[in-house]
Structure 1
Amino acid sequence: MNIKLSTTNQHIQNSIQITGSKSESNRLLLLQALYPNISIENLSNSDDSRVMQQALKVFEEPSSTLGVGLADIHHAGTAMRFLTAYFSIQKEREVVLTGSKRMKERPIKILVEALRQLGADISYELNEGFPPLRIRGKQLTASRVSLSADVSSQYISALLLIAPKLQNGLKLELEGKITSVPYIKMTLALLSTLEIETSFDGNIIKVLPKETVADTQLVVESDWSSASYFYSIAALSELGSEITLSSYKQDSLQGDSVLAEIYTQFGVVTTYEGTSIVLKKVKDHEDTTINCELANAPDIAQTIAVTCLGLGMGCDLYGLHTLPIKETDRLAALQTELQKLGAEVEITDKSLHLKPCETIIEHIAIDTYQDHRMAMAFAPLALRVTIAINEAEVVSKSYPDYWKDLERLGVRIVEI
C-alpha cells in the first residue's frame, strides 16, 4: 500500500493513546514463559510482539517435522535474539528458528557463540553466523560468559533474561565500551521487579538463579520509540501546538525517553501529567545544527534527522554503529531518502551528518525498505510538504495504528 500525506493544519491539539513498549513487552513475554504465574497488562499490539507470543507456543502446535518445532519470527529481530536464548534452555526440545529474507542476512554469531560457551547446542541451517538456527534445548550448567560490549544490547539482554533459570545463574563479562546501557538496565530492572538478584558493576553483570517467583502483575509502559514521531510533529507544528500521549512515566526504563531532553532543542517542552506526557511547541529552534550522541538510543536517529530537515536545520548524529544491521541498513537508507528530498548528507559506518537545507522537494515518494521506522520517521514531513510513503503497511511491525493516529492530528492520507 502506497499513500500520500498532506495537511493544511499546522496547529495541533489532540491526545493519542499509544500501546505498550515493544521492548518491555517482549522481555516480559519471555519472562512469563519462564515463570507462568506472571500476568501482563498493556502489551504492545505490534507484529513483533505478536510473533513473539506465537513462537513461544511453538511446542503446543502440530509440527510439520516429527519432533521438531518450527518458529518463524518474520522481521522481528528482538524475537530472534531472545528466542535463540530461550529455546537453548528448553530441555529435550528441538526447534528450527527462522525468519524473513532480511532476517537471514542479520548476524547472530556473537550470541550463538556466547550461548555455546554456556553449553548450548545450536547449529546453522544455511549460512554460518546467520539464521535459520537449529536449537536443541538442554540444561546449561556453565555460568560464565564474555562477549564484546559494543554489540547489540539485545544479545546481552537475551542472556540476562534466561540467566535466572540457569542452574548456577550467570556472570557476564562485557569487553570494551558498553553501548545501549538503558536497554541493559531495563532488562535488569524487570528481573529485579520479580525479586531476582542482579548486579551491574563496571563491566561485570551477575544474575543469581531463581526457580520460582511470586504471583506478579506487571503493566507495560507505552512505547517511547513510538512517541518520537509525535515529538517530530510537535517540532514541525505551529507555536502553541499540544499533543498529549499516554501512558508514560517520568522514571522510564526506556532509553528513548531521552527524547524529552533532545527535543527542547527544537522548542518542544515535555510536562508529565499523571500517566500522560504533554508535548508543547513553545518556541522556534535557535541552533542551525544539533549534535547528538545516540549510542544509547539509536532507534530515534531517523526521527531526529527528518525533524532537522523539516526545520531547515543540520545535525551530526553519532553512536549509530548498530543501524546497518537493523531491518535495513538504516544509515544508507536515510542518506538515500534525505537526498531525494534535496538534502546534503554524509554517513560513516557509525554516524550521519546532515547540512541545513532551506528547501524540501515536494511530492517525493519515500521508499521504506521494509523498515517500519523509515515510514514513520518521514511521515511528519507532511506538515511541511506533500509527501508519499511506499509500502506504508510496514508500520504494523511496531505501531499498527500509526496512520489512524496521524489522521486524528489532521494529516490527510490518501491511498495511491
Structure 2
Amino acid sequence: MDILLNILADKKINEKITISGSKSESNRLLILQKLFPEITIENLSDSDDSVHMQHALSTKEELVDIGHAGTAMRFLTSYFAVNDGRETVLTGSHRMQNRPIEILVNALRDLGAEITYEDKEGYPPIRIKGKKITKDKVQINGNVSSQYISSLLLIASKLENGLEIELIGKITSVPYINMTLSLLTQLGIENTFEGNLIKVHPKKNIAKQIVVVESDWSSASYFYSIAASLAIGSTIQLSAYKRESLQGDSCLAEIYQHFGVTTTFGDHFITLKKEKECNKEVLEIDLKNAPDIAQTIAVTCFSESIACNLTGLHTLKIKETDRLVALEDELTKLGANISVTNESLQLEKSTEIKENIAIKTYNDHRMAMAFAPLALKVPLKILDAEVVTKSYQKFWDDMQQIGIQIKEVKR
C-alpha cells in the first residue's frame, strides 16, 4: 500500500493519543512469562513483532518463522537453547536471514548450547537443540547490539547456577540493558551490574504478579517531531507514560527542548507543547543509548532547517535495513545535503524541501514513521506504508486524528 500525505490546513492543534505498550518491554516480558507463568502482562504491545513473539512461544512446530522481528530472533535464540529436549529451526524473512546472529550464537555455544547454521555461517536460519546449561560465565563484546546481551539476561535466572556476563570493551545501549535488569528486579530476580560485570542469580519461582507495560517511547518520537513543526501553543497528550521510565528513548523529552517542545508529566500521560520557535543552528548529540530515534531526529532537523551531527549510530547498520544509508538516500531526494559514515550522520541546514517525493521504506517501519511528520511541511508519498504495523498498528489512524490527510494511491 502506497499513501499520499497532505499538509495540515491548521497548524495549531490540541489532541489526545493513546499509544500501545512498549515493544521492547513487551517482548522481554513475554519471554519471562514463558519462564515464569506467575506473570500476568497488561497493556501488551500490539506490534507485529510482539504478535510474532507470542506465536513463536506458543507453537509446538519445529520450524519457527518470525518474519522481520529482530528482537524475537535474538530473544528466542537463547530461549530455545535452554528449552531442554526441544529442537527448533528459527528463521525469518529474507532480510532477517542477512542480519548477523553469530555473536549471540558464539556466546551461547561457549555456555554449552547446541546451535548450528542451516545455510550461511553466522546468519539465520539456525537449528537449536535445547538442553540444560550448567556453565555460568560468558564473555561478550559490550559494543554489540544490546539485544544480544538482554537475550542472555532473560534466560539467566533459569540456568542452574545463574549467569555472570563479562562485557568486553566499551558498552553501548546501556539503557536497554538496564531495562532488562530492572524488569528482573521487579520480578524479584536478584542481579547486579558493576563495571563490566553483570550477574544474575538463579530463581526457580517468583510471586504471582501483574506487570503493566509502559507505552512505547520510540512511538512517541513521531509526535515530538510533529509538535516541533506545529504552531506555538499546540499540544499533544500521549498515554500511558511515566517519568521514571525504563526506556532509553525517554531522552526525547530533553532532546526536543532544542526544538521548542516541552514535556509535562501527568498521571500516566505526557503533554507535549510547542512553546517557542527553535533558534538552534546545529544539534550535536550522541545517540549510542537511543539509536532507534535517530531517524526521527534527523528528519526533524531537516524539516526545521537545523544542521545536525548525530553520532553513536553503529548499530543502525544491522537493523531492518541499513538505516544510515536509507536516511541518506531518502533525505537527499528531498533536497538535503547529508553524509553518513558507519556510525554517524551529518546534515547541513536546509533551505527548501522538495514536494511530492516518494519515500522508500525498505521494509523498515521506522523509515515510514520518521518521514510522516514532513507532511506538515510538504505533500509527500510513503511507499509500502503498511510496514508500520511492525511496531505501531494504529499509526496512520493516529496521523489522521492529528489532522494529516491520507489517501491511498497507485504506484
TM-score interval w.r.t. the shorter chain?
Answer: over 0.9
- Aligned counterpart for 1:254 among listed residues 242, 247, 255: 247
Instruction: Kindly indicate whether residue 12 of structure 2 is the aligned counterpart of residue 5 of structure 1.
Output: no
Q: Distance in 1 between matches of 2:330 and 2:9?
A: 24
Instruction: Kindly indicate whether residue 196 of structure 2 is the aligned counterpart of residue 183 of structure 1.
Output: no
Deviations 1:27-69 (A, max 9, x none): 000000001111000000000000000000122xxx4xxxxx1
Amino acid in structure 2 at the alignment position of 1:12: I
Give 1:109-188 correspondences, 5 Å limit: 109-188=102-181
SS in 2 for 1:33: helix
Instruction: Kindly indicate whether residue 395 of structure 2 is the aligned counterpart of residue 399 of structure 1.
Output: no
Q: Distance in 2 between matches of 1:109 and 1:401?
A: 34
Which moved further from structure 2: 1-10 or 95-104?
A: 1-10
Q: Which residue of 1 aligns with 2:87?
A: 94
- Give the TM-score normalised by the residue count of structure 1: 0.98
Which moved further from structure 2: 7-16 or 319-328?
A: 7-16
Amino acid in structure 2 at the alignment position of 1:18: I
SS in 1 for 2:314: coil
Q: What is the total number of aligned residue pairs between the two structures?
A: 408
Instruction: Give 1:367 shift.
Output: 0.3
Give 1:252-401 correspondences, 5 Å limit: 252-401=245-394
Q: Distance in 1 between matches of 2:266 and 2:167?
A: 38
Q: Distance in 2 between matches of 1:128 and 1:207?
A: 30
SS in 2 for 1:165: coil
Instruction: Give 1:8 shift.
Output: 1.6
Q: Which residue of 2 aligns with 1:231?
A: 224
SS in 2 for 1:26: helix
Q: Distance in 1 between matches of 2:58 and 2:375?
A: 41
> Aligned-residue CA RMSD in angstroms?
0.5
1:149–1:177 CA contact under 8 A, matched in 2:
yes
Instruction: Kindly indicate whether residue 200 of structure 2 is the aligned counterpart of residue 207 of structure 1.
Output: yes
Q: Which residue of 2 aligns with 1:57?
A: 58
Deviations 1:342-361 (A, max 9, x none): 00001000000000001000
SS in 1 for 2:157: helix
Instruction: Give 1:216 shift.
Output: 1.1
Q: Distance in 2 between matches of 1:118 and 1:8?
A: 59
Runs of 4+ in 1 over 6 A off after TM superposition: none
- Give the TM-score normalised by the residue count of structure 2: 0.99
Taking only the aligned residue pairs, the percentage that are identical comes to 61
Q: Distance in 2 between matches of 1:367 and 1:312?
A: 22
Instruction: Give 1:9 shift.
Output: 2.3
Instruction: Give 1:213 shift.
Output: 0.7
Q: Distance in 2 between matches of 1:101 and 1:281?
A: 42
Give 1:34-73 correspondences, 5 Å limit: 34-59=35-60, 63=61, 69-73=62-66
Q: Distance in 2 between matches of 1:18 and 1:226?
A: 7
Q: Which residue of 2 aligns with 1:27?
A: 28
Residue segments in structure 2 that go unaligned for 5+ positions in a row: none
Q: Which residue of 2 aligns with 1:220?
A: 213
SS in 2 for 1:9: coil
Instruction: Give 1:308 shift.
Output: 0.6
Instruction: Give 1:289 shift.
Output: 1.2
1:365–1:388 CA contact under 8 A, matched in 2:
yes
Instruction: Give 1:373 shift.
Output: 0.1
Deviations 1:173-211 (A, max 9, x none): 000110000000000000001110000000000000001
